[in-house]
Amino acid sequence: MKRVATAIIYLLCCATASAVTFVSPQSGAQAIGPLPIEIAASAPDIDRVEFYVDGTLAGVARHAPWRITHDFGTSVDPHTVAAVVWSNGYQDSERIEVRTAAIVASDSLTVDLVEVPLRVTTSKPLRISDLRLRENNVEQTLRDVRADRGAATFVFVIDRSLSMGNGKLAAALRAVDEAAKMLRPGDEVSVILFNHTISKPRPIARGESLTRVFGDITPSGGTSMRDAVASIPTGHRTYAFVITDGGDRDSQLDDESALRRISNTRSVIDALILGTSHSRFLDRAAKNTGGSVVDTSRNALTSDLRDLITDINSRYTVVYQSHGTARGWRSIDIRPRRGIAIVNARKGYFAE
């Protein structure tokens, strides 16, 4: 058996369902070495997911993201990867499976296994057939395309204070309705409304409209923004979006206390500020958690929020086995099909 060398290169590009689907590996992909095995599932009452490789239990996931890591080793054989999803208090189960590809003789002759993290824009999950890759102008065979984001919790923290009148609150609700359509099976969504008081997180079912649920709320009262941000539930991977006009007059927590509550969690805070009242607290919250702050308007809010969700959905890894090219600098040219955009792609890597 030929030794498989692993080269990892990092590519920066910019990105995006049956109740249960495989995220990784994909059918026909090649499984070599340690890889994530992951499914996306939209059922709200999943108890656990069991993963099997060639009929043997490989691991169990008890909460989203429904993922384990499995070492496939250096075997040249194909594998059957299955997931059994138990739900409804273990009364119901569903099984799905995929078949990975074998390594044929021509594959094992030259072979650097190359992993290329991608960021793309796409309205649907990325597949192997959506991309073509050439290395030093030699066509390469893609082995896998993995969505690396995984299922996550999305919390929309929306200002409903008096200053959010004149259509701002209505624009925020419409923007979240549109953004929620871009989320994936397995994602959980909730909303926190705040003025001088903070509402409890309200779960939002897939397809449920915030405009209908909260449309009769009239902007009123003061603003306790820091308290609202500090109330975001943590534990799972969480993306939080604060939509506000920027002021804070009523929070009990000061900046430092609120920042301490959010900065050591698995939450990423993004903020969309309507108007010119920029908040130093939101700047620091976003910086501490890896998020960003966007100055927006009623008309631009939907587009700006969609851009943030697109960026989160954009994380993929393409895997291929380099062959037919010389040592030294190896240029990479990735071409997408129509409807998919790759931006700021690294041009190659150096192979010793």
Q: Using CA atoms, how far apart are residues 24 and 29, in angstroms rounded to an integer?
A: 9
Task: Decide if pLDDT at 122 tops 80.
Answer: no
Sign of the torsion angle spanned by Cα atoms 237, 243, 244, 245: positive
Largest CA distance in the chain: 71
- Is the predicted pLDDT of residue 213 greater than 60, yes or no? yes
Whether residue 15 is predicted with pLDDT greater than 50 in this model: the reply is no
Mean per-residue pLDDT of the chain: 83
- Which residues in the chain are classed under CATH 2.60.40.10? 5-16+18-149+313-351
What are the structure tokens assigned to 74, written together? 């250096």
Examine the pLDDT at 10 and tell me if it is beyond 60.
Answer: no
- 8 A C-beta contact, residue 339 and residue 325: no
Q: How far apart are the C-alpha atoms of 322 and 11, rounded to whole Å?
A: 16
The winner for highest mean pLDDT among 184-188, 291-295, 296-300, 329-333 is 296-300
The answer on pLDDT for 14 being more than 70 is: no
- Within 8 A by CB and 6+ apart from 78, the residues are 99, 100, 101, 102
CATH 3.40.50.410 residue ranges of the chain are 153-312
Specify which residues 52 forms β-bridges with. Answer: 57, 82
Domain 153-312 has CATH 3.30.2130.10: no
Q: Which fold has domain 5-16+18-149+313-351?
A: Immunoglobulin-like (2.60.40)
